[in-house]
Amino acid sequence: MALIRFGGGIVQMLGSIGGTTFARNASGNYARARTTPANRLGESITLSGFNHYIRSNALLAKLGLTIVDAGPTVLAIPAMDPTFAITASEATDEISVAFDDTLEWLDEDGGYMFVSQGVPQNATRNFFAGPYRHMASIDGDSVTPPTTPDAQASVFTLIETQKVWCEARILRADGRLSNKMLASCIIAA
């Protein structure tokens, strides 16, 4: 339903009629095609096999790792690591990545945790949407699995009292890629 203000014709319209939305911003009144957001809360998205193939292998190709062509036999994405956390130090210019050392990807050759870092921000900032830069690939190993925490060199210069964000994804050896896990911390001395 649209709110219409008449004057010498139509002075202002707010709302939607049919497939058109009428609104106002700093530049004045405007009309645009009505859209429904694709990522609304509570909705799940079904990806095709091709989408999953690209989702997993684009990251592997970008990092120069071996692409997984065979489809997985488990039809679910890997669980995220609920213990994923980071600490950062200006003195060492390193970010320490903590993870659950009982997860299966650690014992798989071809399993990884990919960690990306954002540019450090003012400590009062509570939200960071990117961009992120690849910082580390923690490789799973069936003989000697990685141990937690894993210290990695920072991509950006770390300055005490700033806040830094990292995102991580787990890739299983069969090519399944987890959703993003986010962590932040205040940089220590």
Report how far residue 100's alpha carbon sits from residue 73's, in angstroms, rounded to the nearest whole number. 24
The pLDDT tens digits of the residues spanning 91-108 come to 999 999 999 989 999 999
pTM flag (> 0.85) = no
**CA of residue 90 relative to chain centroid, distance:** 25
The fold adopted by the segment(s) 49-186 is: Immunoglobulin-like (2.60.40)
Six token digits for residue 7: 């004057």
The pLDDT tens digits of the residues spanning 5-48 come to 777 767 778 888 888 888 888 888 888 888 766 657 666 777 78
Which sequence spans correspond to the domains of the chain? 2-33, 49-186
The pLDDT tens digits of the residues spanning 129-170 come to 889 999 999 999 999 999 999 999 999 999 999 999 999 999
Report how far residue 31's alpha carbon sits from residue 126's, in angstroms, rounded to the nearest whole number. 34
Burial readout 65-88 (b: 16 or more C-beta within 10 A, e: otherwise): beebeeebeeeebbebbeebbbbb
Report how far residue 188's alpha carbon sits from residue 161's, in angstroms, rounded to the nearest whole number. 6
